[in-house]
Each structure stands twice: as C-alpha cells, then as structure tokens.
Amino acid sequence: MKKIIKLSLVCAVLFSGMSTYAIDGNEEFNLHVLKNGKVITFGLNQVQKANLAIYDQDGTLFYSESASGKDGILRTFSLQDFPDGTYFLEVEDNAKKVRYQINVDNDVTTLSPKAISSVYKVADKNTSVAVR
C-alpha cells in the first residue's frame, strides 16, 4: 500500500511539473498547442491583443478576427470543413507577425507549436526584419 501511495505521489509531481513547463513561458510570443484533431485549440501567453488569420497555400484568406484577452488569448478552431492540405495560422500584434503551419489530413489536423516564420516590426514603417 505504501508503494502505491509513493508511486502516486511521484506521478502527481511529475505530471504537474510537465504541465507547468508546457504552459509557462517567458518568451515575447508563446503559442501552446493544447489539442489537435479536426478541432485545434491553442493559447497565446502574454498577448492581450492580436489579429488571427488562417490562409491556404495560395494565400487565400479563410478566416480572420481581432482577438483579445486580459492574461492571454485562448482559441479553438474546427477545421472539419477544410479540405486536406496545408494552411497557415498568422498571429500579428503590435511588435511582430508570426506564422504557424496547419496540416489537414483525413481526420487528423495538426498545428505546429513552433513558428515557421516571424517578421518583426520596427519604428520605420518602410522597414521590416524577417527571421526564419
């Protein structure tokens, strides 16, 4: 019985530590994929206002919105009606625009947790810096 209690305690500490690591982040822009499937859920830490847009590979806009949240942004998108293919989620705030890849394949949709590109905005409106 003592072994079971000790093992349960170790597992509880391990899982709480993993979830804390996955949610916390002190980078300027953090996207956390919370759920994949035909419905994707993600959270943006430390972002109070952002423009969200979903494009296909040809640059056709499928969805856009201005999102806001006091402590961050949490969104869920259903991609059931999307044809199989590659799409891009763009998140833009006052400082930069970040692009993430979405793959729709049969009944599985995945959102990349890491950005595939970032464009930082600078004070001069005619200049931008791209990071890949």
| pTM of the predicted model as reported, rounded to 2 decimal places | 0.69
**Is 3 inside a domain boundary?**
no
Confidence of residue 3 (pLDDT cuts 50, 70, 90): low
| Total structural domains within the chain | 1
39 beta partners: 78
Confirm whether 54 is domain-assigned.
yes
In a domain, 115, yes or no: yes
Q: Is the dihedral of CA 110, 115, 117, 118 positive or negative?
A: positive
* Domain of 40, in residue numbers: 29-131
Residue 14 lies inside a defined structural domain of this protein = no
**DSSP reduced 3-state for 116:** coil
We report the CATH number of the domain holding residue 36 as: 2.60.40.3080
Q: Round the average pLDDT of the chain to a whole number and report it.
A: 75
Residue 115 CA from chain centroid, whole number: 8
Which of these ranges, 4-13, 69-78, 111-120, has the smallest mean pLDDT? 4-13
Distance CA 84, CA 23 (A): 29
User: Who wins on pLDDT, 121 or 55?
Assistant: 55
Q: Provide the edge-to-edge strand list for the sheet that holds 39-45.
A: 30-35, 39-45, 72-78
Question: Over the stretch 39-93, which tens digit does the pLDDT of each residue have?
Answer: 888 888 878 899 999 999 999 999 999 988 888 888 888 888 888 999 999 999 8
